[in-house]
Amino acid sequence: MLNRNLLVAALLGTGLAFSSLAHSHAAGAAAAATAATPAAQAATAARATPARTITEAQVLAAQQAWGRALVQISTDFASGGLARATATASAVLDAAYGYQMGPVLFKPTLTTAPHTFRTTREGALAYFVGNNPAFPNDRGFALKGWTNVEVRNAAMLIHGDIAKTMGNVTLTNRDGTRTTVDKTWGYRLDPQGNLRIVLHHSSLPFTGS
């Protein structure tokens, strides 16, 4: 079983490199500014402040980590029951999603009114592992025995500290059944430079009338 701490580290890893780089640049800028005139200090600070820009590699790594996390929740449910799966799902939500920054625009695949949209952490956790009387229709999407997740992006847009993707995600369960969903993700860097999911829309493809 993948260690939960390693899983969280993998989910946060795409942002840590940025955070370290930003810290290095900031330290260098501060040292240079101490020996300059006020005008030069201002100019140096303006030039040295790094732009908070997400990279394509960060987004791709975050998507792969999300897929591994979903598989891990299913694996932990099979080997350790609901308590272990819930602990893993909680760690994933805290590491990968931006609920600590405010509402997340999360529309899961299989939800109905009045709980179609899961803008709170509680609602997201209920969708993934169920067993919350406030969300009685949730059966735990992440508990369905997923063994593999493939992400195929149709397009990716990056605007500074915000990135958006659209494409397909194919999930395979333990009996080999494959389910493909249409997926849109939105990411934002948090104040520490970690990539966070702030938009997550999932739906089954339209099959025709």
Residue 172 domain flag: yes
Specify whether the CB–CB gap between 147 and 70 falls below 8 A: no
More confident residue, 200 or 19: 200
pTM over 0.95: no
Residue 15 domain flag: no
Q: What is the CA radius of gyration of the chain?
A: 20
Whether the pLDDT of residue 91 is over 70: the answer is: yes
Q: What is the pLDDT of residue 7?
A: 58
118 pLDDT tier (thresholds 50, 70, 90): confident
Residue 14 domain flag: no
Residue 153 domain flag: yes
Side-chain half-sphere exposure of 26, counting CA atoms within 13 A = 8
What is the average pLDDT score of the chain? Answer: 81
41 pLDDT tier (thresholds 50, 70, 90): very low
30 pLDDT tier (thresholds 50, 70, 90): very low
Specify whether the CB–CB gap between 172 and 64 falls below 8 A: no
Residue 36 domain flag: no
What is the number of domains present in the chain? 1
Q: How is residue 188 written in tokens?
A: 């934002």
Q: What percent of the chain has pLDDT over 70?
A: 75
Distance CA 182, CA 173 (A): 18
pLDDT tens for 68-90 read 999 999 999 999 999 999 999 99
Q: Any idea which of 132-136, 157-161, 169-173 has the lowest mean pLDDT?
A: 132-136
**Which amino acid appears at position 147 of this protein?**
T
Residues contacting 64, CB < 8 A, separation 6+: 151
Domain range enclosing 127: 56-203
Q: What is the pLDDT of residue 11?
A: 56
Distance CA 134, CA 29 (A): 51
Specify whether the CB–CB gap between 194 and 16 falls below 8 A: yes
Whether the pLDDT of residue 159 is over 90: the answer is: yes
pLDDT tens for 160-184 read 999 999 999 999 999 999 999 999 9
Ramachandran sector of residue 187 (left: φ over 0; alpha: ψ -120 to 50; beta: rest) = beta
CATH of the domain at 133: 3.10.450.50
Side-chain half-sphere exposure of 178, counting CA atoms within 13 A = 8
**Most distant CA pair in the chain, distance:** 71
More confident residue, 83 or 119: 83
99 pLDDT tier (thresholds 50, 70, 90): very high
Distance CA 164, CA 88 (A): 26
Residue 48 domain flag: no
